[in-house]
Each structure stands twice: as structure tokens, then as C-alpha cells.
Amino acid sequence: MKLFYKPGACSMAAHILLNEAGAPYLLEKVDTEQGTTETGVSYLTTNPRGYVPALRLDDGAVLTENVAILHWIGEQFPELAPEFNEQPLLRFRQLELLSFLSSELHKAFSPYFSGKTFAEAEQAVIRSRLDAKLGQFNDLLAQGQSYLIADAFSVADAYAFVILNWTNFIGVPLDAWPETKAYVARIAARPSTRKTLQEEGLAA
């Protein structure tokens, strides 16, 4: 399979999981502004919406959208998913978390990467929306658990890590959310995360 990615972008969640599973995969870097890939072909033929991630499967089918790609990876490599067979509700807990991460937490960062300039009052609103979502995320960990579901690393954690890691790029310290700060450090220390950051050119 081949993952279409942009360094540090949300596509990094799938990348971490493929490394975590030890799965064979190829990478192709995308220039989303130009709509091309590093091999010089149009990316729009792979994902007409132009954004990453996209995952081309071995039979040529293409999956897009983080929620679908991450859920698919969890189904392929059950060691990355919660124990759905033992506890069927966990499948929906995972979907619930992936939906929150995708439509709430991820999107709260979007203004910071939009390339737009915001007036001071708008910046304050954007920041308070982000703080509210970070607070909601922190509440998920406030019982002292190490990971989001059943206290074991799973696909939702990879996505959460990638999003939360953006706080480093935009200069928002996580000190107000100590459980989240420790969670990010915990996932950053995983060999799969370190390998992924290196492969995306974000760590030595």
C-alpha cells in the first residue's frame, strides 16, 4: 500500500500506525498547494479534494479521510485497535473518538494553518476555541489513564498525538493541561512515532 502524506500533517497518524504494525508500505509526499506529488504527477487523480491523507491499497482502491483510513488500519492490524470482539461497544467508542478528533480538535487548529492573517480580536476567539477543545480532550484523560481507550495504545491515540503535536508548531504550551502534556510525551517516545518523525524529516 502507499500513503500519500505531507510532513507533520494529519497523514502522520496513519504513518505512525503503519510503523507501529510493522506493515510494508510506500510513502509519496504531496504538495497540496500545487496539487502534485513528489513523483511529479497530479495528486487530484488520487484524491480529487486535494488534501492528505490518501491511502492506496494493494488492489488499487484509494481510501481518503482520516476517520476511514484510521479505522481501516485498525481493522487490518487488530493489535492497533481496542479489543472489539471482547467488547463490541469499543468499536463505537473508537468511532466516537475519531469523530471528535477530526471534526472538533483537528478543526480548532485549522485557522493557524490557513495562511490568513487575523485581527487581534479574532485571534483571541480562535485561541479560546482551541483552549476549549484542548480542555475537552484533557477531560478524556483526567481519570489518569495513559491512552484513550481501554488504557492501551490504539488508532485514536496516533491521530490525537499528531493533532496535539501541532501545539509545538503554533507555540501553544500544553502546561494548562498536564495530563495531555504527559500523554503527548508518552506517545512521542514510542519507537514507531520516533521512526515516523525521522521518515518525515521532522527529527534527526
Ligand X SMILES: N[C@@H](CCC(=O)N[C@@H](CS)C(=O)NCC(=O)O)C(=O)O
What residues line the site for ligand X (CB under 6 A)?
6, 9-10, 32, 50-52, 65-66, 102
The three-state secondary structure class of 72 is helix
Residue nearest to ligand X (CB): 51
**Measured from the CB of residue 10, what is the shortest distance to ligand X in angstroms?**
3
Q: What's the grid cell of residue 97?
A: 473518538
Please check whether residue 109 is in contact with residue 163, taking contact to mean a CB–CB distance below 8 angstroms: yes
**Closest CB 85 distance from ligand X, rounded Å:** 27
User: Based on CB atoms, which residue is closest to ligand X, 161 or 179?
Assistant: 161
Q: Pick the closer one to ligand X by CB: 14 or 179.
A: 14
Cβ neighbours, 10 Å, residue 125: 12
- Residue number with CB closer to ligand X (33 or 175): 33
Nearer to ligand X, 3 or 179 (CB): 3
Q: How far apart are the first and last CA of the chain?
A: 26
Least gap, CB of 113 to ligand X (angstroms): 7
Mind giving me the DSSP string for 121-184? HHHHHHHHHHHHHHHHHHHHHTT--SSSBTTB--HHHHHHHHHHHHHHHHT---TT-HHHHHHH
Query: In angstroms, what is the minimal distance from the CB of 50 to ligand X?
Result: 6
Task: Collect all residues with Cβ–Cβ distance below 8 Å to 52 and sequence separation of at least 6.
Answer: 4, 5, 6, 9, 10, 11, 30, 32
The nearest distance, CB 44 to ligand X, in angstroms, is 11
Which residue number, 36 or 102, has a Cβ lying nearer to ligand X?
102
